[in-house]
């Protein structure tokens, strides 16, 4: 069956090639439906037990080699990164894509300037702003009979991302923009993403247009104002092609849009898991609280914001963050497409095939982590990154937002544990896997304000 999907030259090459074991399942659709339904972790785990850590399958319309070892991940994402390009399914590409194929050089320049704009030296200066946003979000929690964690972490993650990307602080306008983003996210939850009126995917495409219009006015405003603190937009406005032409506004807006989406969706999910794991591990929560109380007690007034020095003085909380990134694995797998035939330790990866790099399956494997399903921050306390830990990927495409997201999490954690206690209410109904793993129902909690209030 797979032969129908391959051209004859490829078939000739494959005659003598070493393909791993696996299954193709149905024509064209392959195993995509099972993959969607079971979620990436379960799907890959079942295949590993049948075929081993590297197997072949058929996903998103392409023959695919899936691998789930840190060594293979490094090989694909870093050592041989030039032989693979990032792959997004066409429906997601349509929602989030930024550049037409003809603009490949500008795309690379744009990405480089985004990496530069989020450099660790620069994001350290963002602590005060993140602090203000965290206080703003958390200040209303005790007035709500039930806090739906995901809605709140989305509000926090979205506004920090928007500020880093465009320099824009929270306002009624940004709340409206966030609403558009939540519809766009919804459009990615379903298996069949068809642009038919009435479907959530169709709504998502409409909301994307509205969001882009909003970005158009954000760009105009930013051009007109002078700010000492540079955001990603400022970096992007500086790039030029080989003829000295700046990035056209439509591409600029779509790049900002894609960046904000990627940043807010992942961080909102991450903060939600952080709350879940801490809620379930009271002893660990108490240790975090002790560390954060010490920092708060060192402040002269309750209004004093956190500083970069405070952030580096949170070793235990940092270990909790690393452990959350391991156990929840917000990006459970990464997709690449081979741009040439590649041989990995005797396994053939033919040109144009997809490679699925399954990070979560080694993050929670006993082969790489002792007692892997236990939430145990002590494994990160020695300050040594365990082998088999790549929550932000590897190689040149490694997440440039990783430092910002850690600052966000630590600031959020600080105000959360020094202000509130909380308990989970209602039952959990499983996990929504797409686009990032979140808890169905949004993890509702009831919070109580602690007597020493700081917000
Ligand atoms: C917990 C939160 C986050 C997680 C788990 C995460 C994870 C990742 C991963 C695994 C990649 C690599 C993708 C690949 O190799 O195909 C990536 C790329 C990227 N991330 Fe993040 N990310 C997070 C938050 C953020 C934030 C807050 C920003 C921006 C403010 C951001 C911006 C980006 C960008 C621009 C890329 C593409 C880099 C490139 O293609 O060169 N991410 N992220």
23-52: per-residue pLDDT in tens? 877 777 889 999 999 999 999 999 999 999
With CA atoms as reference, report the closest residue to 235 among 220, 216, 256. 256
| Residue nearest atom 33 of ligand 1, based on CA coordinates | 399
Burial (CB count <10 Å: 0-12, 13-18, 19+), residue 386:
middle
Instruction: Check: CB of residue 185 under 8 Å from CB of residue 438.
Output: no
> In angstroms, what is the span from residue 131 Cα to ligand 1's centroid?
22
- Structure confidence by residue, pLDDT tens digits, 207-234: 999 999 999 999 999 999 878 889 999 9
Phi and psi angles of residue 162, each rounded to the nearest 5 degrees, phi first: -65, -40
**Confidence grade of residue 10 (pLDDT, cut at 50, 70, 90):** low
Q: Which atom of ligand 1 is nearest to the CA of 395?
A: 15
Give 392 Cα–ligand 1 centroid separation in angstroms. 6
Q: Which of 325, 392, 398, 413 to mutate to test the pocket of ligand 1 (most atoms within 8 A of CB)?
A: 392
Cα(21) to centroid of ligand 1, in Å? Answer: 31
Q: Nearest CA to 94 among 268, 336, 266, 258?
A: 258
Residues 441-445: what's their mean pLDDT? 95
Domain 2-449 = CATH 1.10.540.10: no
Ligand 1 centroid from CA 331, angstroms: 9
Q: Which atom of ligand 1 is nearest to the CA of 77?
A: 15
Q: How confident is the model at residue 5 (pLDDT cuts 50, 70, 90)?
A: very low
Query: Which amino acid residue places its CA nearest to atom 11 of ligand 1?
Result: 399
* pLDDT confidence of residue 9: 53
- Ligand 1 midpoint to CA 454 (Å): 32
Nearest atom in ligand 1 to the alpha carbon of residue 329 is: 5
Separation of 266 CA from ligand 1 center, angstroms?
8
Confidence bin at 13 (pLDDT 50/70/90): low
**Best residue for ligand 1 mutational test, from 259, 269, 271, 401 (most atoms within 8 Å of Cβ):** 401
Q: Is the pLDDT of residue 330 over 90?
A: yes
Nearest protein Cα to ligand 1, atom 41: 397
Band the pLDDT of 17: cuts 50, 70, 90: low
What residue's CA is closest to ligand 1, atom 20?
399
Pocket of ligand 1 (CB under 6 A): 77, 86, 111, 114, 118, 161, 164, 259, 262-263, 266-267, 270, 330-331, 334, 391-393, 397, 399-401, 404-405
Looking at residue 91, what is its pLDDT? 81
Query: Which ligand 1 atom is the nearest neighbour of the CA of 394?
Result: 15
pLDDT at 382: 76
- What is the pLDDT at residue 96? 84
Model confidence, pTM: 0.94
Averaged pLDDT for residues 274-282 = 97
Contact 402, 385 (CB under 8 A): no
Q: Is the pLDDT assigned to residue 327 strictly greater than 60?
A: yes
Residue nearest to atom 27 of ligand 1 (CA): 263
**In whole numbers, what is the pLDDT of the chain averaged over residues?**
91
Report pLDDT digits (tens) over 168-218. 999 999 999 999 999 999 998 877 778 888 899 999 999 999 999 999 999
Using one digit for the tens of pLDDT, what is the confidence trace for 368-415?
A: 999 999 999 999 987 667 779 999 999 999 999 999 999 999 999 999
Q: Where are the domains of the chain?
A: 2-449
Distance from residue 102's CA to the centre of ligand 1 (Å) = 24
Q: What is the mean pLDDT of residues 98-115?
A: 84
**If you measure from the C-alpha of residue 402 to the centroid of ligand 1, how many angstroms do you get, rounded to a whole number?**
7
Question: Ligand 1 pocket test: which of 266, 363, 406, 437 has the largest number of ligand atoms within 8 Å of its C-beta?
Answer: 266
Tell which atom from ligand 1 comes closest to the C-alpha of 404.
27
């Amino acid at each position: 069956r797979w032969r129908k999907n391959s051209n004859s030259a490829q078939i000739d090459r494959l005659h003598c090639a070493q393909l791993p074991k696996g299954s193709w399942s149905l024509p064209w659709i392959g195993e995509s439906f099972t993959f969607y339904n079971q979620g990436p972790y379960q799907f890959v785990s079942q295949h590993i037990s049948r075929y081993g850590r590297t197997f072949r399958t058929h996903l998103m319309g392409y023959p695919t080699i899936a691998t789930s070892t840190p060594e293979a991940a490094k090989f694909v994402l870093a050592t041989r990164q030039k032989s693979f390009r990032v792959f997004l399914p066409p429906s997601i590409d349509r929602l989030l894509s930024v550049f037409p194929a003809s603009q490949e050089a500008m795309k690379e320049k744009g990405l480089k300037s985004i990496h530069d704009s989020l450099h660790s030296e620069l994001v350290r200066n963002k602590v005060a702003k993140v602090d203000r946003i965290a206080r703003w979000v958390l200040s209303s929690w005790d007035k709500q009979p039930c806090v739906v964690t995901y809605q709140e972490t989305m509000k926090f993650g979205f506004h920090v991302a928007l500020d880093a990307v465009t320099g824009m602080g929270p306002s009624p306008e940004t709340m409206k923009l966030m609403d558009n983003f939540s519809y766009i996210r919804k459009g990615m939850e379903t298996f069949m993403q068809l642009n038919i009126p009435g479907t959530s995917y169709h709504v998502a495409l409409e909301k994307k247009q509205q969001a882009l219009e909003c970005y158009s006015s954000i760009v105009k405003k930013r051009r007109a104002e002078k700010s000492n603190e540079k955001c990603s937009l400022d970096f992007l406005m500086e790039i030029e092609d080989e003829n000295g032409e700046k990035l056209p506004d439509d591409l600029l807006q779509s790049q900002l849009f894609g960046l904000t989406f990627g940043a807010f969706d992942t961080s909102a999910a991450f903060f939600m898991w952080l709350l879940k794991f801490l809620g379930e591990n009271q002893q660990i929560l108490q240790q975090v609280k002790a560390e954060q109380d010490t920092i708060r007690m060192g402040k002269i007034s309750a209004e004093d914001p956190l500083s970069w020095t405070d952030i580096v003085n949170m070793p235990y909380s940092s270990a909790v963050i690393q452990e959350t990134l391991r156990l929840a694995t917000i990006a459970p797998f990464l997709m690449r497409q081979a741009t040439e035939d590649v041989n990995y330790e005797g396994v053939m990866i033919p040109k144009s095939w997809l490679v699925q790099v399954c990070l979560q399956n080694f993050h929670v494997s006993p082969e790489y982590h002792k007692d892997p399903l236990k939430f145990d921050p002590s494994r990160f306390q020695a300050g040594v990154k365990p082998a088999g830990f790549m929550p932000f990927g590897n190689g040149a495409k490694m997440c440039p937002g990783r430092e910002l997201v850690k600052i966000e999490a630590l600031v959020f954690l600080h105000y959360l544990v020094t202000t509130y206690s909380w308990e989970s209410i209602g039952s959990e109904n499983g996990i929504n896997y797409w686009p990032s793993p979140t808890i169905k129902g949004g993890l509702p909690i009831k919070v109580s304000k602690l007597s020493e209030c700081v917000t």
